[in-house]
Amino acid sequence: SHRFLLNLMSRFLQNRLISATIILCSLPTRKLFLTLASGFGLGYMPVASGTWGSLWGVALYFALYRLQLVPYLVTLFALIFLSAWIADQAERFLGAKDPGIIVIDEVVGMLTALTFLPITWEWILAAFLLFRLFDIWKPFPARWIQDHVPGGWGVVGDDIMAGIYANLILQIALRFLWG
């Protein structure tokens, strides 16, 4: 009966992946995707939900920073891919492009900003402030990614760019000013 339902739905929808996702995503799955996409509810904060999501990224970084280089990078890339998929599903459930409750993109953007930095409050604060600046400002190609890349990659991509910009500036400062 599952196959019959999948075949029936695929006749109505052009993209089989979308049809399978819609069929398989029951109410509990929808809640799971929205819980993850919202950073366990932080995206529902009435003010500065992106800032709260970024703080969740800092907290997650404390759980991951002790990993060796390769496991950390594998985990970061896996989280980026998962975040894009989760954000895509959340957009579909909510019927909106990059709604404010989705903050999983800020989480992985902040993890990107903190990569390879010293673990001191000064560097973490600098990464946080620069990441928020670039996430709000969206210098090229961040805004282009947000506006032109569809689905979850459009949601997550601009935050990854903001994290890269913040990290690059801090890596330059680390090497040339404090190196």
Q: What is the pTM of this model?
A: 0.83
Q: Is 98 left (phi over 0), alpha (psi -120 to 50) or beta?
A: left
Q: What is the pLDDT of residue 109?
A: 98
Q: What is the pLDDT of residue 66?
A: 92
| Closest by Cα among 97, 88, 104 to 152 | 88
For 69-125, write each residue's pLDDT tens digit.
999 999 999 999 999 999 999 999 999 999 999 999 999 999 999 999 999 999 999
- Lowest mean pLDDT: which of 8-22, 38-52, 54-68, 163-177? 8-22
**Counting runs of H as helices and runs of E as strands, what totals does the chain give?**
9, 0
| Closest by Cα among 93, 103, 105 to 31 | 93
